[in-house]
Structures are given as C-alpha cells and as structure tokens.
Chain A
Amino acid sequence: MLAFTLRRAIQAIGVMIAVGVIAFSMFRFAGDPVNQIVSLDTPAAEREAVRKSLGLDDPVPVQFARYFGNAAQFKFGVSYQFRQPVSNLLMERMPATLELAACATVLAMVFGILMGVYSALRRDTILTKFFQAVSLIGISLPTFLIGILLIYLFSVTLGWLPSFGRGDVVRIGWWTTGLLTLSGLKALIMPSITLGLFQMTLIMRLVRAEMLEVLRTDYIRFARARGLTTRAIHFGHALKNTLVPVITVAGLQFGSVIAFAIITETVFQWPGMGLLFVQAVQNVDIPIMAAYLLMVSLIFVTINLVVDILYTVVDPRLRSTIRRPA
C-alpha cells in the first residue's frame, strides 16, 4: 500500500516536472520576453539591461531551475497585458472558477444520478426517452451554443437572469463568494447549467449502464428471493454499488470541468481563471498561459493521485493486483 502510494506520488512529480519543462519552454522560447516588455523604440543598451535584469543571459538550466523555484512559490512573473504579477491575477480569479466548477459538479451529480436511476428502472417510459434525448443533446451540442441558447431564452426574451458577470460578491478573507447574495446566486444559475450539462449526461449514462448491470447479478436475485422490498433492493443494494465508479468518474472529471470552464466563462463573461486564460491566448500573454498550465496541471495531477489512492482504500480487491508491479 505504501509502496503503491509512493510510486504513484513519484509518477505525479514526474508529470509535474514534464509540464514544468513545457511551461518554461513556452515562457522562454516562444517569442522574446524582452520585446514584450520594452517598447519598439527602446535603445539596444536599455534592452540589454532589461535582458540582464530578467536573468535571460544565464545558462538555460540555471534559468529553468530559477523558473521552477519561483513557480513552487507561486511566482509566475509579470503579465504582459496587465503589468501585474500573474500570481495575483490568478488568485483574484480563482474563487470565481472554483465556485462555478463546484456548483456545476453538484448539479451534474444530483440530476445525473436521479435521471440515470430512473431510466434504468423504468426503461420504456416517455420520461426515459426524454432523458435520453437530453443526454444526446448534452453530448452533441457544443458548450457555447448551450450557453447562447440559455442567454437568448432567459436573458433576452424573458429577462429573468443576468447574462454576464458574477453579480454582487462578498469578500471573506482573500476569497470572494457570490453564494451569499441574491444577485450572485442568480448569476450562478445559467453558467452552472451550461458547464454541468455535459458531466450530467456522462453521469446519467454511467449510472444507467451500471444499474442495469448490477440488477442482473446474483446477489440482487438473492435479495429478491429473501423477500426484500423493491425499494430496499434498488436503493440499498443496487444504487450503493453503482456509486463507486460514479464518484471516481465525477472526481476525475472535476479537472475537465475546470478546463471546460474556459468556454463557459467566455460566454457569460464570468471573471474566472478561464476567461483570463482565453484573453491571454488572444493577446499572446505567455506568462499567464504558462502559469495557468501549471496551476491546472497541479489540480489534475493531485485529483488523479487522490482518486487512485482512495480507490485502493475503498475497494480491497484492487490491493492484491497493485502489489505486483505491472
């Protein structure tokens, strides 16, 4: 168990170093950082001074070590567009993205599981057909089209919900939250639906498939033979066993929720990290791009690591196979 955890941790560190090399190469070699800082008519001597002050004269390995050391302390350099430290910008934007991603995930889990269970138990009803049509749309429609559709319906036509921004936010320490004000909650509704729809269809399909599989197993038949109520069989025995893979997938998908937030945040002008990243790509603001890559990779790798380890804790059958190196 310990050896497995250690090996996975070392793998995770390896991935982070690889991502770090990519982020550094982007930062250092994709365009000259000096050109981004000085203006066009800066004399050559001044350019050299800037170059020296940025440490761009040092050997590349030294620069890489310095970049990595700084990144470990959350220092990612200065944004070309905003002339502010990238870490400040990211910290300012992070609560918005995390709040949105968390809301979308909860939404997707609750409705995905409900719809999945229903469509597995009542296979031929009209409601099941409707759920399946929704899931086909959720997988086929691009996220931004769903967002535009919602804006047209609820903002332009009905005027019920705001079409952009976070509404009023409350500051708690360095964290800003929109969950405590009415306008904040209203602003959260449409982006959460847009972001969560894809995950919801994924969870619904997964729950349905798992439920159908579990309902065919012997222990369910045995439970029926024991004379348990249908409700106890469906929810006490069948659903419980389908939830392990569902939680795993939802956990692993949290990383892609954060990445897909890029699109949702652009549609709704949501002031999160994703919008910052898109603006950075449009304006070739490499320090922000590199920092975003590092941050998101860190979140991904951590989630993967935690899920892998939790899996062995939850499911004892996996432990014996893990001990043998593959």
Chain B
Amino acid sequence: MSDAVVPHRVEPNTPTARAGTNWLRRALDSDIFYSFRRSRMTMVAAAITVLFFLLAIFASQLAVQNPFDPAQLQLMNSRISPIWTAEGQTPFLLGTDEQGRDVFSAILYGLRISLVVGVLGVILAGTLGITLGLIAGYVGGAVDGLIMRIADVQLTFPAILIALLVNGVAKSVLGNRLDAMSTLGVLVIAIGLSFWVQYARTVRGSVMVEKNKDYVAAAQLIGLPAPKIMLRHVLPNAMGPILVIATINLALAIITEATLSFLGAGMPDTMPSLGTLIRIGNNYLFAGEWWIVAFPGLALAGLILSINLLGDWLRDALNPKLR
C-alpha cells in the first residue's frame, strides 16, 4: 500500500492483455481515491450512504412485514414503543404506529421510495439541464439567449415553490385523487423541472470554453455531426462539475421530496416516503409517541448529511485549485 501514498506516480505501461485489473489499479491509484482515503469523515459518509442504499434495495428481505399491505397489519399491535423500552415487543425493533405498522419496516420501504424519487429526479434534471446547456453553448445566439433567460428567471424562484406549483397543476389536470404510482411520477417531474438550471449553466460554461479548442475544430473538419461532437467529445470534459452538482442535488432532491410529502403534496399515506412517515408521526408527538416521528426523521437526516459530506468532498477533490 505504500506506493499509493505518492499521488502523481507515472502509470507503468502494461500491455492491454490485463485491461480489467489495470483499470482497477488505475482507479485505486488515482488522486481521487488518494484524497478519499485521506479523509476519514468521507469514508464514514460513503459507508453510511452505501448502507442506506443497501437497506433500500433489500427492504423486502429485511422488513418483518410489508407496511403497504393492509392484510399484514394488526390493530392489536398499534402504538408499541421501541424494543428497548419497558413496553417493547419482540418483532418490532423501533416500535409501531397507529395502524400497527412496524416503524423499522416502514422506514425501509419509505427509504426506497425517497431514494427512487431522488435518483430519478436527479437523472431527469441532469438530462434536461445537460441537453439544454449543450444546445445553448454550442448553438449560441438567440437560442442561447432564450434558454439562459428562462434559467435566470427560474433561478430567482426557490425550487420548493416550483415543485409545489408543478404538483398542484398536475393534480388539477389529472384529477385530485391520484394513485400512488402517478404521484411518484409527478414528484419526479416536479423535482426535475426545479433543478435543471444549475446543470445547464455549468455545461454551457464548459462548452463555451471547449468549443473553440483545436480538437473540436478537428472533429468538425472530419465531418462529425454536431450532436456527436457535443456528446462524445465536449461533454466528457464537463463531467467533473456535473458529478459534483448531481451529488449535492441528490441530497436536495431527497429534501424536496420529503418536504412535499410532509406538506401533504407528495406521497400518500398508503405508500409513504420518509417525508410522509414524518408527517404521520408528527400527529402523535403530543401523545408522547415520539418514536413514530423520531426514527424516520433520524434516517432522513443521516441520509442527507452523509450525501452532503460526500458532495463536499467530491467538490474539493475535483477542484484542481485546491490540490
């Protein structure tokens, strides 16, 4: 491991026969991995983030019941406090809520929904923003002016307001009582439309710098179509900042989804995300049943905090000025 401490070691020219392990070694030997191993906080944050993703993926294996299936819930088991308190009961690690739903299982399933909405929202926002940013930067002129004006105007409005408006309009068009899956779709669209601006601005900036370079001129000269030049040659050079924005945006998207659900404009009680669980639990706070709101809140806070720490680290690690 001692050779990994020297960050700028020249890569030995091994033949491509062992391309697979070579790739792995390059990754382990890179500056990024070096700065990752230097920061203990980042390693903890990464471990917690991975743990949350694993919990969400294996939710149905880990949960003691399916909290969305009314047949599995028994009112006899309602309002049981966590297992380490005097009234705790065995299968219910973190207690149960009003409907006899196991809080731990509900958190696992809620985590899954929060992450799905967050990741899909970030992908939608990224795709939209990158596409518009590439077009604005590459085409320039009036198209650029129009896209960037819209971006400027939208940037003055907070994302949560835009997401709420999109949500309200979608409900009005599609009818007030949506089923859970289409609500999920509406949330993804609302988040995608709220967060595209940052990508578009960053990509446009990089494109403006890159498009005057010789390699773009060479690509144009050999007759490559513009979309191919943008996607295959210009975009990879803007990937660093996009990755940083995407990481920080994932945390923001999860907060936005949780906030919408908390405000009652998001996921319904029948298919709760972490935000919905917090809204439900908040009603029992005064009755002294703190565990119904505390554990989903803790899960949400831990998830967001660790993703934010990862994003902060990535921003510093990819910033050449700070090396």
Residues of A whose CB lies within 8 Å of any CB of B are 15, 18, 26, 30-31, 136-137, 139-145, 148-149, 151-152, 156, 163, 255-256, 259-260, 262-263, 266, 277-278, 280-284, 286, 289, 293, 296-297, 300-301, 304
Contact = CB atoms under 8 A, between A and B. Distances in A.
B293 A142 contact: no
Interface in B118-174: 153, 156-158, 160-161, 164-165, 167-169, 171-173
B156 A148 contact: no
B305 A136 contact: yes
Interface string B199-221: 00000000000000000000000
A93 to B, nearest CB: 16
B95 to A, nearest CB: 16
B168 A280 contact: yes
Contacts of A141: 301, 304-305
Contacts of A284: 168, 171-172, 176
B196 interface: no
B185 interface: no
Contacts of A259: 157-158, 160-161
Interface residues of B, number: 36
Given A140-B301, A282-B263, 16 more contacts: A26-B165, A30-B169, A139-B308, A141-B301, A142-B304, A149-B297, A255-B158, A259-B157, A259-B158, A260-B158, A262-B160, A263-B263, A266-B262, A284-B176, A289-B169, A297-B157
Main SS of chain A's interface residues?
A: helix
A2 B190 CA distance: 40
B265 A281 contact: yes
22 contacts: A18-B153, A26-B165, A31-B172, A140-B304, A141-B305, A142-B259, A148-B285, A149-B297, A151-B285, A152-B290, A255-B158, A256-B158, A259-B160, A259-B161, A260-B160, A266-B263, A280-B168, A281-B171, A282-B263, A282-B265, A284-B176, A289-B169
The 8 closest A-B pairs by CB, nearest first: A30-B172, A281-B168, A31-B172, A259-B158, A140-B305, A256-B158, A259-B161, A284-B172
A22 B164 CA distance: 14
B230 interface: no
A156 B286 contact: yes
A259 B255 CA distance: 15
A300 B263 contact: no
Given A30-B173, A151-B285, A255-B156, A144 B161 contact: no
Nearest to B173: A30
B161 A262 contact: yes
Interface string B227-258: 00000000000000000000000010001001
Residue of B160, B164, B258 most packed against chain A (CB within 10 A): B164
B259 A289 contact: no
A136 B304 CA distance: 11
Nearest to B167: A281
Contacts of A15: 153
Nearest to B287: A156
A255 to B, nearest CB: 7
Contact of A278 (B169, B263, B304): B263
A256 B176 CA distance: 28
Given A141-B301, A286-B172, A300 B156 contact: yes
Nearest to A278: B263
Contacts of B153: 15, 18
Nearest to B255: A142
B160 A145 contact: no
A145 B254 CA distance: 13
Contacts of B308: 136, 139-140
Given A140-B304, A142-B255, A145-B297, A262 B156 contact: no
B265 A145 contact: no
Given A18-B153, A289-B165, A300-B157, A144 B172 contact: no
A62 to B, nearest CB: 23
Contacts of B264: 278, 282
B227 to A, nearest CB: 29
A143 B251 CA distance: 14
Contact of B265 (A152, A278, A300): A278
Given A141-B301, A256-B158, A263 B282 contact: no
Contacts of B172: 26, 30-31, 284, 286
Nearest to A252: B156
B191 interface: no
Nearest to A163: B286
Nearest to A288: B168
Nearest to B290: A152
A31 B176 CA distance: 10
A277 B263 CA distance: 11
A233 B262 CA distance: 48
A80 B161 CA distance: 21
A137 to B, nearest CB: 8
B300 interface: yes
B285 A156 contact: yes
B168 A289 contact: yes
B56 interface: no
B259 A143 contact: yes
A10 B251 CA distance: 37
A282 B164 CA distance: 10
